[in-house]
Amino acid sequence: MRSFASVSRVHARLRKLLEPALNARPFWIRAELSSVSQGGGRLYCDLVELRNGKVAAKLRCTIWPRELAAIRARLESAGLHEILADGNEVGLCCHIQYHELYGMSVTAVDIDPSESLGALERKRQEIVERLRREGLLTKNAALPVPALPARVGLIASRDTAGYQDFVSTITRAGYGIHILAADARVEGADTERSILRALQALARLDLDLVVILRGGGSRISLSYMDNEAIARAIADFQLPVWTAIGHEIDTSVLDAVAHTSFKTPTAVAENLVARYVEADERLRNARLELRRRANLRLRPERERVDGSGPLLVSMARRLVRESRTQSDHRARSFRLLLQRRVGHERAGLARSRSELRALAKRRTAMQGAVIEQHRKSLHKTIARALEARRKGRDRLRERLLSPLALNRIRSERQRNAAWTQILRAGDPARNLERGYALVYNQEGVIQRTVSGLDKGTRIHTRLADGVVHSTVDSSESSE
């Protein structure tokens, strides 16, 4: 015979077996948080143990409101107020709970912040070590930085004080540094995707270097910058990347792989401005030194020039006298040549004038003969045309006065008279004179039947000597 037990009896048996563990002192557990949620002032989560990236063990955990407030106060003092989130490793002090409906779980009553800090540090060191083995820590640092970066790509959150400090410091300097900003999240779960997208956008622009900024924050919020994917993107970037993550003591993974790291966003801006200030100072000193050396070099030349002044004056006067004598001689020679040339030209002009007059007379005589010939030819052409028109007119007169033409004209006159009588007979005015009338409706259209002439309708009757306007009292059809 089988013996069956109820579920509650099984639970009672299990509780009796677990009684030593349920009454034992609290113990410490190191685990990764998963499925974190809150409700009614309590926090619920799963404590997970990972092996080779897979879940090897899992245990439900509850933190009640009083213990949760104490745990958060300890985390706040350690700068880890955001550690109670999925994926973070924690060290919790727990004791075992057993419930007939929910089974076995643990209740956390305390937390060790140093364990979380150690986990974050181990994660950071592991990433840095992998990058070091692959030779990526110095790859971006080997890229040259222009002495005066004029186009700077900026990756930061526009709503942060670090962004405002950087931009205001650059702007106040007044050196014309062009900032091309790509807005990005610098903490939270979206940090990796946002910064990688910003790097891709800036890679397509013509820049001198790229700066990644974020202000200060808690240790857990700053840990979002210990990201291996972002670090690898910076190492492979084609431009120098400067960082100012905000760590006061430790160095983030991005700081380790960047070309140059700074503590604050203002420090990055001051470094850029200092480059221009130093260059400006060097140019000012070089200008002063150049002026000093030029004065030293020109002083002997000035003294030599000042000493040679009287000699130059006497030499200039002698050259002026010699030039004046030569100019007078040349002027006299030029005057004689000009007089001879003018005499030759005048004689040539007189010869040309006489030849031109003779040529004009000959050309005028020839043109007169040609005009007379054309006039005679035109008279003959006009006489022939007039004679032809006269003969044509005589022939036309003979045709019109012939008997056949006269009979045709009388016939056409008779036909025109007949058509005229027909048209007069069909003229409406003749019908009106015989006593007929034309009736128009209100629209001015002839009304041929009584259809549509209702009582009160306005009609217009045209007679031989005028129009009568009337209103229909009644109508009667003859059909």
Residue 20, domain CATH: 2.40.50.140
34 and 134 together in one domain: no
- Count of residues making up the chain: 479
Mean pLDDT of 131-137: 86
pLDDT at 140 over 70: yes
Full domain range(s) for residue 85: 7-111
The CATH number of residue 159's host domain is: 3.40.50.2300
54 and 145 together in one domain: no
Domain presence at residue 335:
no
Given pLDDT bands bounded at 50, 70 and 90, which one contains residue 207? very high
Mean pLDDT of 208-216: 85
For 247-279, the pLDDT digits (tens) are 555 577 888 888 888 888 888 889 999 999 998
Q: Express as a percent the part of the chain with pLDDT over 90.
A: 9
257 and 133 together in one domain: yes
Q: Cβ atoms within 10 A of the Cβ of 88, count?
A: 19
Domain presence at residue 319:
no
132 and 78 together in one domain: no
Domain presence at residue 212:
yes
Domain presence at residue 235:
yes
Given pLDDT bands bounded at 50, 70 and 90, which one contains residue 312? confident
CB contact burial 55-82 (16+ within 10 A = b; e otherwise):
eeeebbbbbeeebbeebbeebeebbbbb
pLDDT at 224 over 70: no
**Chain Cα centroid distance, residue 58:** 54
Which among 111, 143, 172 is the end of a domain? 111
On whether the CB atoms of residues 91 and 115 are closer than 8 A, the answer is: yes
Residue 242 is predicted with a pLDDT of 92
203 and 267 together in one domain: yes
**Mean pLDDT, the chain, as a whole number?**
82
What single-letter amino acid sits at 221? Answer: S
- Could you give the number of structural domains in the chain? 3
Q: State the angle between helix axes of 113-133 and 228-235 in degrees (0 to 180), rounded to the nearest 10.
A: 30
Mean pLDDT of 358-367: 84
Given pLDDT bands bounded at 50, 70 and 90, which one contains residue 197? very high
Residue 210 is predicted with a pLDDT of 93
Q: Bigger pLDDT: 22 or 233?
A: 233
Weakest mean pLDDT among 48-62, 96-110, 420-434:
420-434
For tokens 């109820």, the residue is 6
Which among 278, 297, 318 is the end of a domain? 278
156 and 268 together in one domain: yes
126 and 274 together in one domain: yes
Residue 238 is predicted with a pLDDT of 92
133 and 232 together in one domain: yes
Residue 217 is predicted with a pLDDT of 57
Domain presence at residue 404:
no
272 and 149 together in one domain: yes
On whether the CB atoms of residues 243 and 230 are closer than 8 A, the answer is: no
Highest mean pLDDT among 197-211, 234-248, 333-347, 421-435: 197-211
Q: What is the pTM of this model?
A: 0.47
Domain presence at residue 22:
yes
Report d(CA 7, CA 290) in Å as an integer.
Answer: 101
35 and 172 together in one domain: no
Domain presence at residue 355:
no
Domain presence at residue 376:
no
195 and 147 together in one domain: yes
Which among 234, 261, 278 is the end of a domain? 278
Residue 222 is predicted with a pLDDT of 63
Mean pLDDT of 110-128: 74
Report d(CA 254, CA 212) in Å as an integer.
Answer: 9
> Could you tell me the two tokens for 155?
């990756």
20 and 157 together in one domain: no
